[in-house]
Amino acid sequence: MSAPSKPRNWCLMRMDDNGNQFVVRADLTRNAAEALARQFEARGHKQSYWVRPQQPGGP
């Protein structure tokens, strides 16, 4: 019996210098989204990155 898959209902968000918010990537597990946020933040960009649950019906 295989292990149940983790829910892929998290997304990585970004806020640019003008305060605009964007979905960078959706349909991720929480761990994958958090790891991706750390990768982007490590690049030293001024933008803010965070992880949040996807909204019903889309990112």
Q: Which two tokens stand for residue 58?
A: 């889309």
| Statement: the pTM of the whole predicted model exceeds 0.85 | no
pLDDT digits (tens, 9 = 90+) for 33-53: 999 999 998 987 778 999 999
Backbone angles phi, psi at 51, to 5 degrees: -110, 140
Q: For residues 13 and 50, is the Cβ–Cβ distance under 8 A? A: yes
H/E stretch holding 33: helix 30-42
Are 20 and 9 in contact by the 8 Å Cβ rule? The answer is no
pLDDT at 26 over 90: yes
